[in-house]
Structures are given as C-alpha cells and as structure tokens.
Amino acid sequence: MAQYAELIQPGRVHSAVFTSEDIYEAELENIFYRYWMFVAHESEIPQPGDYCTKWIGQKQVIVSRAADGEIGVFFNRCRHRGAAVCMEEYGNASFFRCPYHGWTYNSSGDLVGVPYPSRYGDDFDKSSLGLAKVARVGSVAGFIFASMAEEGPTLAEHLGKAAGYLEDFVKASPLSTVSLSAGTSKSTFWGNWKFVGMDGYHTNFTHKTVLDLRQRKQGASYSRGAGNSDKSSNESWDLGNGHCRLDLTGKDKVAVGSASNTSIAANIPDTDDGREYMRLMTETYGDEAPEVIRRSRDVHIHVWPNLQLIGSQVRVIRSLAAGRTEVMSYPAMLDGVPDSINTERIRSFEWFSGVASFGTPDDTEVFERNQIGLQSDYIPWLVLGRGLTVAPQEDGSLVGNVTDEVPQRAQMQAWLRAMGPESAVDVAVRTEGEAK
Amino acid sequence: MALLGDVTEFLLLEAELADANAYDEWLALWDDPCTYWVPCNRDDYDPTKHVSIIYDDRARLEERCFRLTTGGAHSQEPQSKVCRMVGSIRVVDAQGADDTVEVTARVIMVELRLGRKSVYAARCHYTLWRSPSGFKLRRKKVMLLDADEPLGNMTFLI
C-alpha cells in the first residue's frame, strides 16, 4: 500500500496513476461524482421542454429545461424500479414516461403520474419520488456544470480564474453567445483520460504532419515549429484548481485574411462575410474588437477535470476505465454572424479534430502508446520536470514557456488534492535503487 | 448490364487501392473538383452547418494523401490492414447530370491494427464521371452505420 502523495512527487508521477483500475474506481468517487463537471451547454436545450442526455462517469443524467426555463440535471433512473426513463440523446418532451410501469415525470423531474395508485398506502408520497437531482447545478457563459456533492466549493470558487476564459470563448460572437448546434464528433481511445491535457511540448513531434501540411501550403514564408519550442514566446499557464492553458495567440495580429500564427484557430476569411464579421464585432466591442477576437479565437484551456476549449471546439472528456476514454467534441457555432464564418469554423475543426482528421488521431495514437508503455513499470516514474522552477505570479498563477510541464503538474496537483494525499492506495512504490 | 459491369470494376478497383493503402493511385481515381464525404451523427444534413467525419474537397483530399505519405502520421504507423467487401451495387441513375452515373453500394470493412480488429459497415453513394479515360470519382459519400457512435482511429481510407 502507498499514499497518493507518494505517487505524485515534485517533477515525477507514478505510472499507476494511469494504469490502476482501483485508482479509476476511486477517481469516479473522488472526482467525477464530487467535482463540478461540465455536463452540457445551454444552447443544446434552448427551448422549454428541451432535454439532452449526458454521462457523468458511469451515471447517465438528463439535462432538462423545464416549462419555466429552469435547467435541471436528473439521474436517468425511474424512482420505482430503476429503468432509464429517456433513451434519446436530444429531444423535446413534456413528460418522461418509464416504459416498465408507466410512471411519468415532467420536465422538472417531478413524478406526476403513477398508474393504478389505489394499491399504494395512504403514506405514498409522489412529491418525494421525483427523478433524483444532481445536487448542484450552475452555469457560466452558457456552460452548464453539475456537482453531485451537496456541499463544497461553489462553481465560482471552483472555476476561479478559468471563468474569464469561458467568457472570452463566447465573445468570438458579436452577441457573446455560441451554439453547440453543429453536431458532435464522438471518439474513444485505449488510454487513460488524464492524457488528454494541455501540452505545448508535443506539437512539433506528435503533429509533424500538421507542420508538413502548413509548410506545403505556406512555402518558404512558414516558420516551421517556431511557436512550439523552448525559444518561443508562447506560454503555458497554471490557473489554479487544475485549470491550465496554453497561450498560443498572444502575438497574433488580428485582421481579415490573417491566420493565427501558431494556433489552430479558424481564419477570418478575406471575403465579404469576413469583413462583415469584423464590422459586427466592431459594432459590439468597439476598438476592443481585434483584442476580443485575439483572446477568443483559441483560449486553449483545460477546465479541470473534464472540459477543454481549443480553437473553435468544446471538448468533453470521460473516463470509462483506467485504459479507456471517451471524448466528445463540438464545434461551437457563433451566434449572429454570417453563415460562411461558421462553415469555416466547421471545416477548420474537421481539419485538425475528429477521428479521421489530420491532428487528434496522432494525439490519440500517442495516448494509446502511453498506455502500452506504462504497463512496463520496472521503473514506474514519468518525468514532468520541464520548467520546474517557474516562480508564481502575483495572482498565484504559474506561467512558463509553452513547452514547460506547468499544465501537467497543475493537473496532477489538483488530482492529488481530490484523491487525498494521505489516502491509501493499493500500489507498491519501491524506494530508489530497489527492485520492484 | 455492360454499364453495371464497368461500374463494378471501378468500385472494386477503388476498394482494392484503398485496402492496399495505395494513397497516390487511389487519389488518381478522383475527379477535380470532387467531394469526399463521411457524415457524422446522421446520414443527411447540410454540411455547411453540421460537422462531418470527413468533408474533403479536392485540395483537402490531396492534403489527406500527402499527410499519409510524408512520414510521421503516427496514427497510420504502422498502417491499418483493411479488407473490404463491396456489394449490392446498383446503378440508380445511368444518365446523371453532366455525363455522370449515380451508384449505390454496401461496403463492409474489417480493419486490423496493432492487434485490434474493427468492423465497419456503410451505405455508399458514388457519383462517377465518364471521363475520356474512364470513370472518375466526382463524389463519394460513406454513410457509416457507426456515424453516431464514438469511434477510434479512422485514418485509413474509408
């Protein structure tokens, strides 16, 4: 037995963190069923009666907008004998009716119908048998989070400095709202969920073909890989509470027709619609418009534990087993812009993201090779020591070079706090020099 | 029936080149411009408003094949081994617009990579242009049975 604190050490992490099924089970309880988890975006359920079904760990929930517009998150389980009451991913309904014995719930989750009620006693209380609610629900910039813990940090406390980046993300729209209306790119891989992080060191190697493609397109003017080296002015950030980001757009000059230097942000096309987009943004944000666009085009943040915003995409991570992960990705559409601007976002999303794209499959391949490699745990330590001596900023943030492992350490520290540094775990940690 | 025979020959050649990961020869079957579409979530929608698994125009299709031949596409190193059956081939319009033929077929693909075998099934729709040198693929739409399921590595030629 070991304590979790023995697995997460300064600059190194034990491979059991990624391979142990016991740890996976403990993560469900300590993280997925306790922390503020991203569940859905308000745009997925815009109208009263709209609902969607989502997963938090192994538990399926219904995210529902009631007749009064209130958003609730309920477990998808009939209070009678436990059958799931809703099998659709999206829909609009006044009622959820269990197919087993016809118990019926409204869009607020209240039990409103029980067939043949005369056979229950007088103490049968329908009002106490509504769909079980996830304890706490909150939203920021349309992003709905839910926590199964009745007490604990508020959503605002949990998000901390990450909240501002959620706000920035939606400001790519002149209405400051986005819609997840363009479908879901769904994927799985055979590796641990914690590999899906924020890494600025892998780009020039894992994504060698992305650099090749850019070079092919831009020719001699392309400064190959410059944004992703130890000499780059791009940055890696620890925002606290496990939230972390890469700053890949800090030096972007925002103008119609100019692409982001080093991020996968969608271009503002040099077209009438591109100019119209700039006009609309200027109408809303005035002289700040170029800066608003620069900040919004690739916030590149991991909102710990399960949400990422990268370029135009919203990415949601779910652990299925120590070595199995599901990733749902949504290209976020900007409200109030010409259609072709959003089409460009979709095409740009497909270029890098998705199971047959030119980017993420190579990330996934590496995650799967991680899972293979970590089984060979004769020397079980992963080295996370890049930029270890980075000093905190005044607000407590850590900011390193883009290739530093600042984000990885941020997440491991948040993970350690969630799991409990002193808690026991069934892993043998040998001391230095000892055989396993 | 001669047309169905010619169409069948072409679709089997396309399948064979895809199975062989013969990216350049496979690319040479395509017209310019062309559309290679693998829908996501459902079979039919406006691709300017909904994400696709693949929605390649000619330029992006060339990028796809370039990427797979330039070295460093880790998701295809090693390459997938694929064995596909093309069946239920029907000419649905022998006199399509602009000297084309509209064809539908069913495809079953078994893909093997790093010890994992996956089975994919799809309904396919092809628009073939009768070029002076034979058919060219002007449009191929692959409607995967799994379009709305979480998928793994789909970087082999579908």
User: If you write DSSP's letter for every residue of B71-98 in order, what string do you get?
Assistant: S--GGGSSPPEEEEEEEEEEEEEEEETT
Q: How far apart are CA A324 and CA A332, in angstroms?
A: 26
Q: Are residues A170 and A50 in the same domain?
A: no
Is the pLDDT at A5 greater than 80, yes or no?
Answer: yes
Query: Which amino acid appears at position B18 of this protein?
Result: A
Q: Residue A301 belongs to a domain with what CATH number?
A: 3.90.380.10
Q: What is the mean pLDDT of residues A44-49?
A: 97
Q: Are residues A230 and A359 in the same domain?
A: yes
pLDDT at A265: 80
Is the pLDDT at A436 greater than 60, yes or no?
Answer: no
Distance from CA of A150 to the nearest CA of B (A): 32
Instruction: State the total domains in chain A.
Output: 2
Please name which of A307, A239, A300 lies closest in space to residue A36, comparing C-alpha atoms: A307
Helix (H) or strand (E) holding B67: helix B58-69
Is the pLDDT at A433 greater than 70, yes or no?
Answer: no
Mark which of A139, A171, A186 sits at the end of a domain: A139
Contact A364 B75 (CB under 8 A): yes
Q: Is residue A174 part of a domain?
A: yes
Q: Is residue A212 part of a domain?
A: yes
Q: Are residues A279 and A403 in the same domain?
A: yes
Q: Residue A98 belongs to a domain with what CATH number?
A: 2.102.10.10
Q: How far is CA A225 from the centre of its chain?
A: 26
Strand partners, A90: A52
Q: How far apart are CA A266 and CA A269, in angstroms?
A: 9
Cis peptide before B33 (omega within 30 of 0): yes
Angle in degrees, CA A316, A319, A325, rounded to 5:
80
Report pLDDT digits (tens) over A334-383: 999 999 999 999 999 999 999 999 999 999 999 999 999 999 999 999 99
How crowded is residue A88: how many other Cβ atoms within 10 Å of its Cβ?
12
Q: Are residues A265 and A353 in the same domain?
A: yes
Q: Name the CA dihedral angle for A260, A326, A36, A61, rounded to a multiple of 10 degrees.
A: 130
Contact A184 B41 (CB under 8 A): yes
Q: Are residues A61 and A117 in the same domain?
A: yes
Q: Is residue A85 part of a domain?
A: yes
Q: How far apart are CA B112 and CA B114, in angstroms?
A: 7
How many pairs of residues across A and B have Cβ atoms under 8 Å apart?
106
Distance from CA of B7 to the nearest CA of A (A): 27
Report pLDDT digits (tens) over B92-126: 999 999 999 999 999 999 999 999 999 999 999 99
Cis peptide before A305 (omega within 30 of 0): yes
Q: Are residues A186 and A297 in the same domain?
A: yes
Q: Are residues A126 and A172 in the same domain?
A: no
Q: How far apart are CA A6 and CA A416, in angstroms?
A: 10
Q: How far apart are CA A330 and CA A43, in angstroms?
A: 12
Q: Are residues A122 and A248 in the same domain?
A: no
Q: Is residue A144 part of a domain?
A: no
Q: Are residues A66 and A213 in the same domain?
A: no
Which residues, other chains included, contact A149 with Cβ-Cβ below 8 Å and sequence gap of 6+?
A: A33, A34, A35, A135, A136
Question: How does residue A434 score in pLDDT terms, banded at 50, 70 and 90?
Answer: low
Q: Is residue A115 part of a domain?
A: yes
Helix, strand or coil for residue B40? coil
- Given a contact cutoff of 8 angstroms between Cβ atoms, the answer to whether B151 and A361 are in contact is no
* Structural domain that includes position A57: 43-139
Query: Which amino acid appears at position A306 of this protein?
Result: N
Higher pLDDT, A177 or A429: A177
Helix, strand or coil for residue B125? strand
pLDDT at A19: 98
Report pLDDT digits (tens) over B45-97: 999 999 999 999 999 999 999 999 999 999 999 999 999 999 999 999 999 99
Token match 């996370």: residue?
A384
Bin A142: left if φ > 0, else alpha if -120 < ψ < 50, else beta. Answer: left
- Given a contact cutoff of 8 angstroms between Cβ atoms, the answer to whether A162 and A302 are in contact is no
Q: Which of A182, A190, A365 shows the shortest C-beta gap to B51?
A: A182
pLDDT at B22: 98
Q: Is residue A244 part of a domain?
A: yes
Q: Are residues A178 and A54 in the same domain?
A: no
Contact A355 B52 (CB under 8 A): no
Q: Which of A87, A188, A353, A365 to mutate to probe the B interface, most B CBs <10 Å? A: A365
Higher pLDDT, A268 or A71: A71
Q: Is residue A29 part of a domain?
A: no
Q: How far apart are CA A233 and CA B142, in angstroms?
A: 43
Q: Are residues A97 and A183 in the same domain?
A: no
Mean pLDDT for chain A overall: 95
* Domains identified in chain B and CATH numbers: 2-144 (3.10.450.50)
Q: Are residues A171 and A85 in the same domain?
A: no
Q: Is residue A249 part of a domain?
A: yes
Is the pLDDT at A262 greater than 80, yes or no?
Answer: no
Contact B54 A350 (CB under 8 A): yes
